[in-house]
Structure formats: structure tokens, C-alpha cells
Amino acid sequence: MILPALAPALSVAVPLAAAFLAVVAPRPRLLVGVTVPAMLAVMALAVLGVRQGGPLVLAVGGWEPPLGIALVADGLSTAFLVATALTIGTVLVVALPQFPIRQNETRAGWAFWPLAFLLWAALNAVFLSGDLFNIYVAIEFVTLATLALVALEGKAKQVEAAMRYAMFALFGSLAYLLGVALLYAAHGTLDIGLLAQLPAQDTASLVAAGLITAGLAAKTALFPFHAWLPPAHAGAPAPASAMLSALVPKASFYVLLRFWFDAMPEAAGAIALQLLGALGATAIVYGSILAVRQNRLKQLVAYSTVAQIGYLFLVFPLAGGSAEPQPWTAGAWTGSVFHAVSHAFAKAAMFLAVGHAVLAAGHDRMSAMDGLTRRMPMTAFALGVSAVTLMGLPPSGGFTAKFLLLTAAFASGQVLWAAIIVLGGVLAAAYLFRPLARAFLPDRGRYGTVPRAQQALPLALAMLSVVLGIVSAAPYDFLQTGRPAAAEEGLE
């Protein structure tokens, strides 16, 4: 079968082509109508291919690493690809009426489409790259597209937020690049598969690891480098926010996961792992507390992202340590991926739904939620369902993730992290309560509305995060394809 083998290449090429076309021939309805189904088909191919034949490796130009560069699609990257395709696909359909091109030609309306497709392509490139430098390039594209999307409407606040993001991202990139350079100097290769086979315990490698980790953490908005995220995500138009909050931090986290578990499983010291975990735990608590204190809907959702990202970093201490030989200790790794994916669905759904509520109300104060269950029941429902995932309540992918992480925490005797995980769920309930409760209040004043078909899309996305919790056996198995040994045995 040649087709599945082409899937990795297609999943970068198709959105890239769409991005170009969006500049040349700005007809978003047609572009979305073709690209989204096409990408879903490509995803189906990729999943099929990985399920049947294991990881797909495509050596670009026929050159094997270390000479050439490779696109690698294993269970992990395919999972992220699929999540990205489903999320962006939905976002784009929702965005169609919000960024019309023909009627009144605005910069936002014109620029959104190419940027969105570019982001998609860049994200896919990150997920497929098997090489640290390629990853750097792809991540820079992600950053670029993100920057532009944040500043899309050109308001002063947005530009300020974009600038702040640019500073953080730039520093992150620099640190990462420095690390990559050090590694290359030491080992002469940046291919992840090859790095994994090297004994990477020398000083240069370890300093490189520190730099790469710090750089990626800044890009992932891990506490205390999160401060760029809320203004940027809350300032952007809702569909853009949905992509930014749901996927962009996941890209850099994905790289971290790859780096630690695939490239340098031997490098980690126990204390460093605990530090990363501690930062994650702080993010959970800190982000939640700030989320509780927000009075703007989009700010609240953005701070929720800060908190949720914290969970991802618990994978480092949990997958490390001396795990008891239980059948499911590998859960921490899978759990964090589950969390990343279900959070992607839920957060995108939540931003889109909030966007609808904001559109209908004309502002994003809390009162935009008043009477939502009556005015726009599907939107309210979408918010509720995505909240379930964010709180990590069953049945949802968020719960499955939390369960796996908790089990790993207990199995490895790290009860403190277990307590944080549980506390985070309660805190999530605390910050999500206010908007949800207001949805039940009677509404005062005049509100617009959003067509039902539009309302249905966020709901569908939110339901996906729930379905992930109900039908989690298949995704779980799928993730194990090409799973690094370190995910099972724990980091040293």
C-alpha cells in the first residue's frame, strides 16, 4: 500500500497548499469545503497505516537519516495529527461566517484563512518531524502564525499581547536553538531515533537538555512563563483562540515528550523531573485560582488553559521514579497524551462556544452567559460538556487521563502529585461554576443569536472529548504503536 505511506507528507502538504491558495484565491468556503474533508481522509489513511503496519517513516527525497530528514508517524504523532485535524477542521467551519471575505474586505477576514492553514501545516510538521532541527523550523512557523493570529484585528491590546508573546517565544526559540546546536556539536546528528541510541550523558548534552526544556516550557506557557498566554488567547478572535489554546502549547509539549522519552531517556535526573512536576503542579493551582478571579469569559478560559497545561508536566515525575511493576504503570505517559488530546477538543469547543455566547451578547462579560440555556441550549450544553472534561469528571477523556495519572502516582508512591491532580479537578469546578451557573439565570436585556447549525459544531467537538473517555480502549491501544520504551520503564 503506497497511500498510507504518503499520509505524513500529505498532511503537511495539503494545508500548506490551502494556505497558498487562500492568499491567491481567497475563497474560504471552497477551500474549507475541500481541505477539511481531504485532511480527514488523509488522517483516516494515516490511522489505518499505523494500525496495520506500525510507525510510518517517510524519508524525504529518499535519503535516510542522518543524511536526509525523515517524517515519522507513530501512534503518538498520529494521535496529535488526528486531534489537530478534528479541532482545526471544526474551528474552520465555525469561522466561516465570522471571517467573510466578499462582503466587507477587512484585514482580519482576508488574513485569517492563510494563517489558519499555515498553522495547521506547521503543527502537522512538528508532529511528524523526526529531527530536532526540523522541529525547530516547524515550531517557528507555528509561532509566526500564532503571532499573526493574535494580532489579527490589529487592536492596540492585541498587538501588545502579540508583542509579549513574541518576546517569550523568541527567547524560547533561542534557548531551544542553542540546545540543539550544542547537541549537534556533541553528537553530529539531530535525528531523534539516532540520538536515542547514543549514550547522552556528557556535559554538553545535559546543558543542551536544560536549554531545550526551558525553551519549550516557555513556549508551552508552563508556569512561570505563562503570563503571555492569557492576554494573547483572550484577545484573539474566538476561532483563533480556539486553535491557539487547544493546539499551540501542545505542539511544544509534544516536542518535550519526544525529547525526553524518545531522544534522551537517560538524561533526566530525579530532581529535575520533580522540578518540572512542581512547576506543573504550581501551574494547576495558580492558573485555577486566577481563573476563578477573572471577570471576562475569554480571560477565564485562557487561564484555564494555563492550569490544564500544568497536568501535562506531571508526566515527568510520574513516569520517572521507581514504578512498581503493575500492569498499567505506563499509564502516566499515555495519560498525559490523553489529557493533551481531550483538552484540545474540550478547550477548542469551549472557546468556540464562548465565542458564540460573546457574539450573541456583544461583549464578553460574565453576563453574556445569562439565560444561555434558554437562548442557545446547544451552546450551553457544549460549554457544560467541555467543562466536564476540563474538570476531569467521568465519562470523558479528561477523566481517563486523570485516572491514568492518578494510578501512576499511587503506583509509584508519589501521593503529593495525586493530591494535586485531584485538587485541580475541584479548582476547575470552582472556576467553571460561575459561567455555567449564570447560564441558568434568567436573561435581561437584548441578545442576538447564532444559527443552530453553528451551535452544533462546538457541541460535536465537546462530545468528542467525552467519547474519548467512553471509547478509550482503541485510542489507548493505538497510542502504544511505536511507544518509546522509556514510557513503559520510566525515565531514569
Partner 1 sequence: MNQALPLIILATALVPSLITFFLAEDRVWVRNALNLGGAVLKLALVVFMLAEVGRGQVYQTEFELVPGLSLVLRIDALSLLFVTLSTVLWLLTTVYAIAYLHGGKNLPRFFGFFSLCVFATTGIAFSGSLITFFLFYELLTLATWPLVVHKGDAASIRAGRTYLGYTLTGSAILLVGIVWLESLTGPVAFAAPPQLAGLDAWSLRAIFLLLIAGLGVKAALVGLHVWLPQAMVAPAPVSALLHAVAVVKAGAFGIVRVVYDIYGIALVQEIDMGLPLAAIASATILFGSIRALTQHGLKPLLAYSTVSQVSYIVLGAALFSQTAVVGGLVHLVHQGLMKITLFFCAGVFDERAGVHDIDEIDGIGARLPWTSVAFTLGALGMIGLPPIAGFASKWYLGTGGLEAGQPWVVAVLAVSTLLNGAYFLPVLYRIWFREPGPNAAAAETEGPAMLLAPPIATAALALAAGLFAAAALSPLGWATLIVERQYAP
Partner 2 sequence: MIVSGPLLPFAALALPLLLGLLAAVPAMRPRVLMLLPIAPLPALALALSGPTGEHTELPVLLLGVRLGLDATGAMFLGASALLWALAGVFATAYMRRTHKREVFVAFWCLTLTGNLGVFLARDAVTFYVSFTAVSLPAYLLIVHDATREALRAGRIYMILALVGETSLLVGLIIACAHADSLVISQVRDALADAPGREAALALMLIGLGIKAGLVPLHVWLPLAHPQAPTPASAVLSGAIVKAGIFGMLVLLPAGAGMANWSLALVAAGLGGAYFGIVAGLGQNGAKAALAYSTVSQMGLMIAAAGAAPLADAPAEFAAVIALYAVHHGLAKGALFMSVGVAGQVNGRARHALLAAVALLALSVAGLPLTGGAVAKTALKSGLEGPAATLVAASAAGTALLLLHVWVLLRRSSAHGSRPGRLLWAPFLAAGATALVLPWLLAPAVGVKASYVLSAANLWSATWPLLAAAAIAAAVIGLRIGVPRIPAGDLVVVAERMVPPAVSRRPAPSHPGPRRGMRRLDPIDRLERGLRRWSTAGPVLLGTAVVLAALFLA
What is 183-236 written as a DSSP string? HHHHHS--BHHHHHHS---SHHHHHHHHHHHHHHHHHHT-TTS-TTHHHHHHHS
Residues belonging to the chain:
492
User: Could you tell me which residues come within 8 angstroms of residue 384 by beta carbon, excluding any fewer than 6 positions away?
Assistant: 436, 439
CB of 336 to partner 1, least distance (A): 13
Distance, in Å, from the CA atom of 103 to the CA atom of 118, rounded to the nearest integer, reads 24
Which of partner 2, partner 1, none does 293 bind, CB closer than 5 to 8 A by kind?
A: partner 2
Among 21, 42, 88, 217, binds partner 2 (CB under 8 A): 217
Burial class (CB in 10 A: 0-12, 13-18, 19+), 155: exposed
- Closest to 149 (Cα-Cα) out of 182, 120, 180, 172: 120
* Span near partner 1 by CB under 8 A; candidates 190-198, 256-264, 320-328, 349-357: 320-328
Under the binding rule (CB under 8 A), the answer on residue 419 touching partner 1 is yes
Size of interface with partner 2, in residues (CB under 8 A): 35
Instruction: Determine phi and psi for 226, rounding to 5 degrees.
Output: -90, -10
Q: For partner 2, which is the closer residue by CB, 72 or 300?
A: 300
Residues of this chain, 397-416, that bind partner 1 according to CB under 8 A: 399-400, 402-404, 406-407, 409-411, 415
Only one residue has cell 466536564, namely 388
131: three-class secondary structure by DSSP: strand
User: Cβ 145 to partner 2, closest distance in Å?
Assistant: 22
Instruction: Provide Rg for the chain, Cα atoms.
Output: 21
* Neighbour count for residue 485 (Cβ, 10 Å): 12
Choosing from 433, 448, 449, 489, the residue that interacts with partner 1 (CB under 8 A) is 433
Of 169-177, 200-208, 301-309, 374-382, the segment contacting partner 1 by CB under 8 A is 374-382
Whether 252 and 216 have beta carbons less than 8 Å apart is answered as yes
Q: Examine residue 224 and tell whether it contacts partner 2 (CB under 8 A).
A: yes
We find the least distance from the C-beta atom of residue 405 to partner 1, in angstroms, to be 9
CA-to-CA distance for 129 and 10, rounded, in angstroms?
Answer: 13
Choosing from 227, 393, 460, 467, the residue that interacts with partner 1 (CB under 8 A) is 393
Which residue number, 340 or 388, has a Cβ lying nearer to partner 1?
Answer: 388
Q: Is 70 helix (H, G, I), strand (E, B) or coil?
A: strand
Q: Residue 370 CB, nearest distance to partner 2 (Å)?
A: 18
Reference 7, options 63, 90, 74, 88; nearest CA is 74
The Cα–Cα gap between 157 and 235 comes to 7
What CA–CA distance (Å, rounded) separates 72 from 59? Answer: 9
Spatial distance between the Cα atoms of 251 and 346, rounded to a whole number of angstroms = 16
Give me the least distance between CB of 441 and partner 1, in Å please. Answer: 5
Q: For residue 73, give the 3-state DSSP assignment.
A: strand
Residue 69 or residue 76: which is nearer to partner 1 going by CB? 76
Choose the binding region for partner 2 from 16-24, 134-142, 225-233, 384-392 (rule: CB under 8 A). Answer: 225-233
* 207 lies in the site for partner 2, by CB under 8 A: yes
Stretch that binds partner 2, among 24-32, 101-109, 269-277, 355-363 (CB under 8 A): 269-277
- Amino acid 307 reads A
Under rule CB under 8 A, residue 211 binds partner 2: yes
- Could you say which residues in the range 436-475 bind partner 1, by CB under 8 A? 437-438, 440-442, 469-473
Binding of residue 395 to partner 1 (CB under 8 A): yes
Task: Supply the minimum distance, in Å, between the C-beta of residue 220 and partner 1.
Answer: 25
Helix H segments across 221-296?
229-235, 238-257, 270-292
Binding mask 162-191 for partner 2 (x = CB under 8 A): --x--xx--xx--x----------------
Q: Residue 400: which of partner 1, partner 2, none does it interact with, CB under 5 to 8 A by kind?
A: partner 1
| Residues making contact with partner 2 (CB under 8 A) | 164, 167-168, 171-172, 175, 203, 206-207, 209-211, 213-215, 217-218, 224-228, 231, 267-269, 271-272, 275-276, 286, 289-290, 292-293
| Residues making contact with partner 1 (CB under 8 A) | 324, 326-328, 331, 334, 371, 373-374, 377, 381, 384, 388, 391, 393-395, 399-400, 402-404, 406-407, 409-411, 415, 418-419, 422-423, 425-426, 429-430, 433, 437-438, 440-442, 469-473, 476
